[in-house]
Amino acid sequence: MAFKKSLFVAATMAAAVFGAALQGHDECANIEPSDELRAAAAEMAAHEAEAAKKPNNAKPAADVNVPVYIHVIATSTSKADGYLSDADVRSTISGMNGDYQGRGFQFTVKAIDRSINARWASDQDEMVMKRKLHKGDYKTLNLYFLPKMAANGYCYYPKSVSSGSDDLYRDGCTIRSDVYNNGQTTTHEVGHWLGLFHTFQDGCDPVNDMVDDTPALINSWSCNQNDDSCPDMPGKDPVTNFMSYGTCRSVFTAGQTARTKSMYNKFRA
């Protein structure tokens, strides 16, 4: 898939708004990838393209075991107010481990803590909360479950960080508590934490998500595998890809698997 430079913002935003209206709220509130991340992705794409031309008889590398600290934020001790049980959040990690099995990563819960705080529960005072709760280093995943968010979740992309910086403490993923048992959401968001863009990044622009084996598409909530929103580009819409939107997500591509490993090794290892 050739690299691209143009951005189909209007079409992508229109599709996203339509999908959000159908779902009642936004799926993902991730910001645009930084210039640093795009440059790293471009370099990795070039290396991956060269590697694909050569025979590879090496044994697959062992999965990276990512330590996970889970922070449950609620407004009361009622589950309706976000107070998830250990079993609830562990089921999320179990589902995510199934999705990432054979894809280079597994996730181990190290600890679960809970806070009753109305402002934190509505995604306010982010840095105050994270300075208090964040645990581990940059290769550690901090998951925050909050009951009052406009979107299902968001994660911070990997980047160069310094010890003790806001960027280090800000890192991690925030998931809306009422979708804790929708494993697709957490798997999708952690994909961003590992450096993956949306499959519909930049719409029908040829570079798209900068992964060669994910066809370009304009964002949609469709599960129709015959959809082709970018007919001048190779492949049908990757509606079953975890980094798309919708309710039928179930796969990562080999290219995405290679990319997450490269991103993790560059920024987090």
List 27, 32, 50, 189, catalytic entry: 189
Reduced DSSP (H G I as helix, E B as strand, rest coil) percent helix, strand, coil of the chain, to 5: 35, 15, 50
Residue recorded with tokens 């999320």? 92
Reply yes or no on whether 48 is catalytic: no
Q: Buried b vs exposed e over 228-251: b needs ≥16 C-beta within 10 Å? A: ebbeebeeebbbebbbbbbeebee
Q: Are 155 and 173 in contact (CB under 8 A)?
A: yes
DSSP assignment of 51-83, as one string? HHTS---SPPPPPEEEEEEEEEEESSSSGGGT-
Question: What end-to-end distance do the CA atoms of the chain give, in Å?
Answer: 29
Residues known to be catalytic: 189
